[in-house]
């Protein structure tokens, strides 16, 4: 009997040791899982932070777009053209870079004033804004585009105190449409043709 009781105690001790080893193994497996998830979570966090930084820089770049326009000597090749239908409010000066444009209609004629140079136009006549150089920058000095341009305006008539034109912007380099539209003043109501 004594022998049977000792064997039973021995088996009981082995079961308890096996249970304790099982618990210890389960705890170690759980720790390993947490470490694996922590590594994955950290990687996702880093990717999200990088995406957020890219978005912030892109927004800052868009909001700090600036253009500097200067006179240029004629004769630069300008193979790229973008066309718009535009309207100017009468009697209001609009700045296109450093070029100031104002229009006023009087008895079926339109008087255009571009940087102090006045001309009368009738429907169908053209007006040219001579060659200029534009430098588009962002973030306080990073140059995006450095191009020469010329603008041709064709007068289409007046309606509701607005003068309507077909406008062709000729450039020496291809300029993305979103940049060009961002630089045109809202008062011009420019629409691609």
Could you report the per-residue pLDDT of 125-178, keeping only the tens digit for each? 999 988 989 888 888 889 988 999 999 999 998 888 899 999 999 999 988 887
Read off the pLDDT of residues 95-136 as tens digits, 9 standing for 90 and up.
Answer: 877 788 899 988 778 999 988 889 999 999 999 988 989 888
This prediction's pTM: 0.66
Could you tell me the residue ranges of all domains in the chain? 1-63, 66-192
Exposure letters 9-28 (e unless 16+ CB within 10 A, then b): eeeeeeeeeeeeeeeeeeee
For residue 138, what are its two tokens?
């962002």
- Pairwise CA distance, residues 18 & 23, whole Å: 9
Q: Which residue has the tokens 């039973």?
A: 8
């Amino acid at each position: 009997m004594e022998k049977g009781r000792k064997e039973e105690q021995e088996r009981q001790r082995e079961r308890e040791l096996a249970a304790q080893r099982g618990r210890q193994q389960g705890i170690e497996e759980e720790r390993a899982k947490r470490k694996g998830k922590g590594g994955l979570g950290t990687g996702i966090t880093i990717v999200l932070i990088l995406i957020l930084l890219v978005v912030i820089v892109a927004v800052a770049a868009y909001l700090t777009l600036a253009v500097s326009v200067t006179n240029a000597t004629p004769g630069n090749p300008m193979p790229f053209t973008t066309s718009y239908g535009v309207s100017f409010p009468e009697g209001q000066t609009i700045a296109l870079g450093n070029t100031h444009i104002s229009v006023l209609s009087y008895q079926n004629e339109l008087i255009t004033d571009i940087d102090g140079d006045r001309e009368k136009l009738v429907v169908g006549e053209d007006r040219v804004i001579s060659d200029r150089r534009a430098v588009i920058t962002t973030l306080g000095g990073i140059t995006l585009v450095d191009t020469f341009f010329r603008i041709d305006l064709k007068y289409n008539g007046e309606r509701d105190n607005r003068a309507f034109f077909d406008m062709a912007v000729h450039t020496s380099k291809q300029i993305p449409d979103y940049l060009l539209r961002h630089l045109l003043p809202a008062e011009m109501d420019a629409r691609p043709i």
